[in-house]
Structure 1
Amino acid sequence: MANARGGGGGGGPDDMLWARGVDYVSAWRAADEAASDFNAAAKALGIDGELVKAIPHTTAFGEAVVWIRPEGVRVIARVMAVGAQCDTLNIDGSWGLGSAAEGDGDGAGMAD
């Protein structure tokens, strides 16, 4: 299914089938919201929106899916690897020192 952001195509042959009673619109809206959140976060990190761009999609079964091209996944993987060496995101959303900084190696040591 194509979308308003120019994405679409590249799916399997079942992507062109529509099943009666499947709520594709709600699934696409959920995928669009997640893609927008991802793209905003990437932009906030200074990542080029043409290189890393999440694209909303729905499957033939009405599942929400977000596509990211392989080169974009590689960029995000590098950003995540660098972040993993620096700080740890606590479960409450705050940032703390990770185990690499504290030297215990178990990942449990986070600052309050």
Structure 2
Amino acid sequence: MGGDDDFTDALAADLDPDTWVWLPGVDYAAGWRAARRTADELNGLLALCGVERSTLRAIADTDALGGPVVRLEGLAEGWLSLEELLCLAAHARGDSA
């Protein structure tokens, strides 16, 4: 295998069956559709706030039981933009960060 054992061991350690095994009879499509609606709304809000989709975006997914899950994925630039927005929102509410 030419020294790939470390890579293979690390990859196997990172695999979580709950994130990729589908159970029979679970309606994953319904959960994904609900997550997709929420992700689309969040992406719209991020865009309205000037956050480029290429730097931060919401992604629809499901959990092992088909429940809707929305993940945020992005580059450091996008996360810094989100941090700035959250600080502004906290300040507007009168909360200190």
Give the corresponding residue for 1:56: 60
The alignment of Structure 1 onto Structure 2 pairs a total of residues equal to 81
Q: How does 1:5-44 map to 2 (within 5 A)?
A: 12-44=16-48
- Which structure has the higher relative contact order (CA within 8 Å, separation 6+)? 2
Distance 2:44 2:90 in 1: 21
- TM norm structure 2: 0.69
Picking from 79, 97, 103, the partner of 2:85 is 79
Distance 2:65 2:81 in 1: 30
Gaps of 5+ in 2: 1-13
**SS of 1:60 mapped into structure 2:** coil
Following superposition, the deviation at residue 73 of structure 1 comes to 4.3
Residues 15-74 of structure 1: CA deviation (Å, up to 9, x unaligned): 221111211111000110010000000001111111110000011211111111264444
- TM norm structure 1: 0.61
**SS of 1:77 mapped into structure 2:** helix
Letter in 2 for 1:75: S
Distance 1:50 1:18 in 2: 30
Please identify which structure carries the higher helix content. 2
Identity of matched residues, %: 28
Distance 2:84 2:22 in 1: 37
Distance 1:49 1:57 in 2: 17
Decide whether aligned partners of structure 1 residues 78 and 12 sit closer, same or farther in structure 2, where only a CA change above 3 A counts: farther
C-alpha RMSD over aligned residues = 2.4
Distance 2:56 2:15 in 1: 19
Distance 1:58 1:12 in 2: 14
